[in-house]
Amino acid sequence: MKPEELIDEVRQSKLRGRGGAGFNCGQKWYFAYTARADEKFVICNADEGEPGTYKDRIIMENDPHVLIEGMTICATAIGARQGYIYLRGEYPQVVNILNTAIDQAKARGLLDDFDIEVRSGAGAYVCGEETALIESIEGKRGEPRYKPPYPPVEGLWNQPTIVNNVETFAAVPAIVKNGASWYASIGHPDYPGTKIVTLTGDVNNRTFFEVPTNTTIREIIYEFGGGIPAGKKFKAVQVGGTSGAFIPEENLDTPLAFDTMTAIGATLGSGAVLVLDESRNLIDVLTRISGFFQHESCGKCAPCREGTMRLYDLMLKVNNGTGKPQDIKIMQKLGNVMAISCLCGLGQAAPAPILSSLEHFPADFNVKLM
């Protein structure tokens, strides 16, 4: 297939990025394809830093070739000769697996003039953000760039660059093999295909599943997950990782697709599913989460650098019983400002667990206030 045909096939399949932003994959490739440059790059985002998420590791450990094939198809489509897999620093065992697979593919001449290098991250959560990841590959501090320009126009070394998640690349070979309409017919029509979900928390089957995207959260928890242990009641579920919203019982019939999740004020994110039963203290969970963000903020933009620290401070105050109603108001205002003003997705999403909990579980806060 010619590059245009490949791109068109991927676009028609309606494959959308599995990393969290949900952009049409073929459209993104098209931007890089049409960008004029001497050199273009393909980067696989395997930084997988969202707590509770390990879907990319499962793919890389069990079928590294599907990732390499997806990246090679992308390289053919946009005209890149160099690829990188930016691998989470905590996955040292995967380095060998990937390098072996790359060597095998090269030995059989499957990569043509394309080459892939595995780069290990150093543990910063923010490097899962694509431009911070690019900075990190360039040897700089892992900090996001402002956008636009977006990576397909100006990415690694300021050249057109496609950054896709492991799961996104892994979907591509099957699309090329079976056709766009085959893929588009699976799951939810606006976000077709499958999604790997990783279940953690208070469920019986704490493991991973690949499900079509029209599967509802309730099905995931009660059918695949086998329900909540010890006969306890459901309290809340956080979907998409630590930056995801806490979702109450009444929204459990939402399909695990991109726009359906946005519609209930949540995000699909990485597909991590953290279930909390009635015995859990949500305020305690939120305090830990806000501690995570103040630790992982890169410090570049003011509202995230200062805001994540303030949210953590205020949550500590509420959690230790010295919070006042005014503190809730401050968190609400600060969270709303961060969500729309921060430079990158980290700061924009950091307040989501608190804001969604304030919306759906206000009583949990109120009982803690002075």
Binding site for another protein (CB under 8 A): 124, 141, 146, 148, 294-303, 305-310, 313, 326, 330, 333-334, 336-337, 340-343, 348
Grouping H, G, I as helix, E, B as strand and the rest as coil, residue 194 is: strand
Tell me how far, at minimum, the Cβ of 303 lies from another protein, in Å. 5
Tell me how far, at minimum, the Cβ of 106 lies from another protein, in Å. 37
Tell me how far, at minimum, the Cβ of 166 lies from another protein, in Å. 25
For the chain, the C-alpha Rg in angstroms (whole number) is: 21
Tell me how far, at minimum, the Cβ of 245 lies from another protein, in Å. 15
Nearest to 332, CA basis, from 365, 300, 299, 302: 365
Tell me how far, at minimum, the Cβ of 101 lies from another protein, in Å. 33
Q: What is the rounded distance in angstroms from the CA atom of residue 79 to the CA atom of residue 60?
A: 24
Nearer to another protein, 71 or 301 (CB): 301
Tell me how far, at minimum, the Cβ of 141 lies from another protein, in Å. 6
Nearest to 159, CA basis, from 319, 35, 318, 46: 35
Nearer to another protein, 277 or 313 (CB): 313
Nearest to 111, CA basis, from 101, 123, 126, 120: 101
Phi, psi of 187 (to 5 degrees): 70, -150
Tell me how far, at minimum, the Cβ of 156 lies from another protein, in Å. 18
352 membership: H or E segment, kind and range: helix 352-360
Nearer to another protein, 109 or 148 (CB): 148
Nearest to 254, CA basis, from 289, 216, 280: 216
Nearer to another protein, 15 or 311 (CB): 311
Nearer to another protein, 220 or 343 (CB): 343
Q: Is the peptide bond prior to 149 cis by the omega test (within 30 degrees of 0)?
A: yes
Nearer to another protein, 279 or 336 (CB): 336
Neighbours of 108 (CB within 10 A): 8
37 close to 187: Cβ distance less than 8 angstroms: no
Region of residue 109 (phi > 0: left; psi between -120 and 50: alpha; otherwise: beta): left
Which tokens in the block code for residue 151? 């990576």
Tell me how far, at minimum, the Cβ of 314 lies from another protein, in Å. 9
Nearer to another protein, 281 or 336 (CB): 336
Tell me how far, at minimum, the Cβ of 209 lies from another protein, in Å. 31
Number of residues that make up the chain: 370
Grouping H, G, I as helix, E, B as strand and the rest as coil, residue 74 is: helix
Nearer to another protein, 195 or 300 (CB): 300
Tell me how far, at minimum, the Cβ of 212 lies from another protein, in Å. 28
Q: What is the rounded distance in angstroms from the CA atom of residue 283 to the CA atom of residue 107?
A: 54
DSSP state of 255: B
CB-count burial class (<10 Å; 0-12, 13-18, 19+) for 252: middle
Grouping H, G, I as helix, E, B as strand and the rest as coil, residue 271 is: coil
Nearer to another protein, 96 or 336 (CB): 336
Q: What is the rounded distance in angstroms from the CA atom of residue 231 to the CA atom of residue 235?
A: 13
Cβ-Cβ contacts under 8 Å for 283 (sequence gap 6 or more): 315, 318, 319, 364, 365, 368
Nearer to another protein, 6 or 331 (CB): 331
